[in-house]
Amino acid sequence: MSMLAHRSRAIFRTLFRLLIEETRIYRFLKYRRQFPGLGASASADLQIFGKLRYEPGTSIGQGTSLLIETSGCVSLGKEVFLGRDVEISTDDNLHIGSRSSIQNFSVVVGRVAIGADCLISYGVMITSGRHYFRLRPNWLIRDQDEFARNTPELRNEHHQAISIEDDCWIGAHAVLTPGVSVGRGSIIGANAVVTSNIPPYSVAVGAPARVTGKRLQFLPPRQIDSARLDDIPYFYAGFDLAQSHSDSSSAQDGFIATGKFCLALAHRNGQKVRLRIRSLAGPAVVLHGSVEISIPEHWSEISFTTSSEMGERLWFEIIPTTNNPKPAVAITTAAIDVAG
C-alpha cells in the first residue's frame, strides 16, 4: 500500500470518528434541551413522536432505543434504570414504575405495565403483540398480521396488555407472552416462557412456566398495620416500601402513597374498610369507587364501602387539586369492619 493510500485511510478514520463524536455531542445537547433532568446517554436513540413522562433519577444507557409512536405514551417513575442496548417501543401506553431496572439487551414492546421495584434481567422479551399464522394459513405471516390489524373484530386482540406488578424479578432471557399478568413479589426463572397468569409471591420456571414454589403464603387478612413486618405485602401497590427509605419510626408513621394505591384485604360485599390516614402537604382527596373523601393533614379515620366486584385488592386514587397538584398521603392501618 502506498504512503498516500495509507494517509488517506488514516484521515478517513479520523474524520469518521470526529463525525461520530459530533453526532453524540449533538444528541447529548439535544436531549438535555428537550428532556431536562433525564439521564440519557448520548448514544441512546430517542424517537419521541408521542408522549414521554419521567420523574427524577431516570437513567437511559448506551445504545438504548426508545420509540414512542404518535399515539403512544411512555411513563417512567423515579430512579428507573434502563441498561445498555435495551429496546422499548409502543404505540399504546407503557409504564415502568419507580426504582425498577431493565438490564442490557432486553426488549419491551406494546401495551405493558411494569410496577415499582422490579428487576428485569438480561435479554428478557416482553411484548403485548403477536403474529398470526392460522387466519389465512396459505398467506405470508406478515400479510396475516396486516389483515388482523385492519379487521375490527381482531384489532383489539392484536395487542393484549401485559402486567408485571411491584417487586418482581424476571430472570435472564425469560419471555412474557401477550395478555399475561405476573403477580406482586413473584420470581420468573431464567429462560422461562410465561404463557399464563402467575399468582402473587410465586416462583415459576420452565417453558411454559409453571409455579414450583412460593416466596411466602399470600393470604390477605382483615386488617393490616404498617408497623407489622408480616403485613408489608398487603400494602399491595403504590407505596414506597424500600427499607432504605424507612426505619422503625417511619413505619409507625405509616407508608407513603402517591397517585393510585392498593390494599389487599379479605372482605365481603357491603363491608366497610377503615383507613387511618393523613395528607402530607395540604388537604388531599382520596377516591374509592365513586366516593371521594377529603383528607386533612392530621391523622384521621375514614371509611369506604366495599363491593364483591373489587376482589381482595382494593384500589384507591389520590386526586390532584389546584391547591395540591402532587398530593401524597401516609397510611398506618387498614381494617375491614366486621359489623359493616
Condensed to tens digits (0 to 9), the pLDDT of residues 173-217 reads 999 999 999 999 999 999 999 999 999 999 999 999 999 999 999
Q: Tell me what the mean pLDDT of segment 158-172 comes to.
A: 94
Among 222, 258, 205, 201, smallest CA distance to 78 is for 258
The band of 237, judged by pLDDT with boundaries at 50, 70 and 90, is very high
Which of these ranges, 39-43, 161-165, 267-271, 292-296, has the smallest mean pLDDT?
A: 267-271
User: Residues 297-310: pLDDT tens digits?
Assistant: 899 999 998 876 66
CA Rg, the chain, in Å? 24
Give residue 13's pLDDT: 73
* C-alpha angle 193-198-204 in degrees, rounded to nearest 5: 55
Grouping H, G, I as helix, E, B as strand and the rest as coil, residue 162 is strand
Q: Which residue has the cell 383528607?
A: 295
pTM of the model: 0.86
pLDDT for residue 18? 54
Pick the CATH number of 36-214 from 3.40.50.1220, 2.160.10.10, 3.40.630.10, 1.10.287.1080: 2.160.10.10
pLDDT at 166: 96
pLDDT for residue 280 is more than 80: yes
CATH code reported for the domain at 223-337: 2.60.120.260
Average pLDDT, the chain: 89
289: confidence class by pLDDT, cuts 50, 70, 90: confident
Residue with cell 409455579: 211
Q: Residue 148: which H helix or E strand, with range? A: helix 141-149
Side-chain-facing half-sphere of 299: CA atoms under 13 Å: 7
Q: Quick check: 248 pLDDT over 50?
A: no
Q: Is 50 exceeded by the pLDDT of residue 249?
A: no
pLDDT of residue 244 exceeding 90, the answer is: no
The one-letter amino acid code at 144 reads Q
Q: Could you read off the pLDDT of 12-71 as tens digits, one per residue?
A: 676 666 555 556 677 777 788 888 989 999 889 999 999 999 999 999 999 999 999 999
* 155 compared with 167, residue with greater pLDDT: 167
337/339: higher pLDDT: 337
* Arithmetic mean of pLDDT, 138-163: 87
Distance between CA atoms of residues 124 and 116, nearest Å: 17
The pLDDT value given to residue 339? 62
Residue 148's pLDDT is what? 86
- The angle subtended at Cα 267 by Cα 332 and Cα 305, nearest 5°, is 75
Those residues with Cβ within 8 angstroms of residue 174's Cβ, 6 or more apart along the chain or in another chain: 121, 124, 125, 188, 189, 190, 191, 192, 193, 194, 209
pLDDT at 245 > cutoff 60: no
- Res 156 pLDDT > 90: no
More confident residue, 242 or 191: 191
Residue 196, amino acid: S
Interstrand relation of 101-102 and 112-114 (parallel, antiparallel or unpaired): unpaired
Which pLDDT score, from 0 to 100, does residue 174 have? Answer: 98
